[in-house]
Amino acid sequence: MAKRTVEINYMQGNQACAEGAVQAGCNFFAANPGSPYNEILKEMAKRMQETGGIFLQMEDETSSIASCIGASMTGKKVMTATSGNGLSLMSDNLGFALASQTPCVIVDVQHAGPSMGQITRTAQGDIQQARWAASGDYELIVLSPWSAQEMYDLTIDGFNLSEKFNVPVLILADETIGHIFEKIKFRKNIVLVNRHKKHLGQGLNLSITGFTHDGEGNPKPIDPKAQADLVNALSEKISSNLKQIIKVEEQNTQNADVVLVACGSCARSAMDVVLKSNKEGLKTGLLRLVTLWPFADEEVAKLAGKKVVVVELNKGQLAREVKRVLKNKVYSLSKTNGELVTPSEIIDFITCLPAGRKEYRA
């Protein structure tokens, strides 16, 4: 069977990601086994066999993304999956995909790090790495799901964005979202972005290189103008289309005295606080960042004048960006012990703000 026919299913976030990839037209998947993303690999092995796609179990992350890039150049829609230090191993070839403008989707289900860390514990420590993993100047797209439903939805969106802008797209989930089980509603009449240009194997004569090159792919290793033109093109194709790319969700931000900024599983706890605390007279709001990169500067800037609390599972990587945008005080509630931020911890933090508390660490 080519696609699922059941409209609603109960499945894990990682499984939902795999299903989203298939429905987005993914027909090539390569990865090596690992936690906490292994369910994606297992599901893709089954679904590629069912849909006539190609599944490769590779020996490491370097070869996984390399094979995806090669397959993408032949016209395949490709995806790989990894976690933590696996993304580090992909960084060089991620740069090649950026420079050669090769579409691909990379799923990073984050675990506690650095390095191998605790592979069964949740974290959001790859937010800055996802943006700056490769060398040089460029822009890429990073999406952050907060539910199993969004593991499905954002994977489809990620493929479309990757194909539209010829850029690698990262799905940056935390372990909690990768392993959560929830009801999934499959989309009907999915609109897909597909490549229409000829590709390798179909008569296209094109030089593909990681070196600086011109619009025809001709290497220009010492040409100053070609270097500037390439860097500007890689950046501007994203920066000039922010309204098509950036997605956030807001809950009661205009009327709130305290606005929580969060993504992934932290946003679930933050939403619980907003829904419950407002009933008790505590005016809180939530700005959930669905798109992490490019960063939602314009949306965050609207919070100027309010007390802003950034809730995250790292040592303030998201707070760093919020502080860059805002001039008013930004408070950081962060945990790095591999455990979720609970609603009660957020409420306790908020109630301490008048006393000048600026940070929480666990």
Query: Are residues 162 and 31 part of one domain?
Result: yes
Let me know if residue 242 belongs to a domain: no
Contacts of 301 (CB under 8 A, 6+ apart): 325, 326
| Per-residue pLDDT tens listing for the chain (362 residues) | 445 555 678 999 999 999 999 999 999 999 999 999 999 999 999 999 999 999 999 999 999 999 999 999 999 999 999 998 999 999 999 999 999 999 999 999 999 989 888 999 999 999 999 999 999 999 999 999 999 999 999 999 999 999 999 999 999 999 999 999 999 999 988 999 998 776 765 666 777 888 888 887 888 989 999 999 999 999 999 999 999 999 999 999 999 999 999 999 999 999 999 999 877 778 999 999 999 999 999 999 999 999 999 999 999 999 999 999 997 789 999 999 999 999 999 999 998 885 544 454 54
Query: Are residues 146 and 29 part of one domain?
Result: yes
Let me know if residue 224 belongs to a domain: no
Tell which of 137, 158, 185 closes a domain.
Answer: 185
Query: Are residues 55 and 170 part of one domain?
Result: yes
- Show the tokens assigned to 109: 């289900």
Query: Are residues 130 and 23 part of one domain?
Result: yes
Query: Are residues 160 and 12 part of one domain?
Result: yes
Query: Are residues 148 and 39 part of one domain?
Result: yes
Let me know if residue 240 belongs to a domain: no
Instruction: Please state, in angstroms and rounded to a whole number, the distance separating the CA atoms of residues 320 and 65.
Output: 29
Query: Are residues 135 and 15 part of one domain?
Result: yes
Query: Are residues 159 and 66 part of one domain?
Result: yes
Query: Are residues 101 and 19 part of one domain?
Result: yes
Residue-number span of the structural domain to which 334 is assigned: 249-360
Backbone angles phi, psi at 337, to 5 degrees: -95, 10
Let me know if residue 243 belongs to a domain: no
- CA distances to 61, 65, 117, 130, 264 from 85, rounded to whole Å, are 9, 14, 9, 11, 20
Domain containing 293 — which CATH number?
A: 3.40.50.920
Tally of domains in the chain? 2
